[in-house]
Amino acid sequence: MSAGASGGLTCAIAGYDGSVGIAILAACGTAILLTAGPLRTRVRRPVVDLLVAIEGAGLAVGGLLLLEDVGTASWVVGPLALAIMAPLHVRALFAGEGPFRT
């Protein structure tokens, strides 16, 4: 997205205003907070890791939808990187049944 001459935001995709990207970011952000918070202690660890990985990839896709001139490599590397890093981040942050405990 970039600032257009009229002051509004424009995107490289004709007729696209970014609302889908914002909705995906909001949905995945909310889901990851629920998964990393209350669900983390109630659901088995592999299930939590899978959910967080999917939600992390969704965050990447939502963010990429807000940008223009995104290359093919970004569509592959971005979601893949967040799918790998998000579960690792949640594990590190909540190690030992609490934030920052190791």
pTM, two decimal places: 0.78
Six-digit token string for 61: 């896709």
Residues 15 and 91: their CA atoms lie apart, in Å, by 40
Per the listing, tokens 């007729």 go with 15
- pLDDT at position 81, please? 97
Contact 93, 100 (CB under 8 A): yes
Six-digit token string for 62: 């939502």
- pLDDT at position 68, please? 83
- pLDDT at position 25, please? 95
Q: Which residues pair with 9 in a beta bridge?
A: 3
Residues 51 and 45: their CA atoms lie apart, in Å, by 10
- Where do the structural domains in the chain lie, given as residue ranges? 19-97
Closest by CA to 93, choosing from 35, 47, 42, is 35
Query: Which stretches in the chain have pLDDT values below 70?
Result: 1-16, 96-102
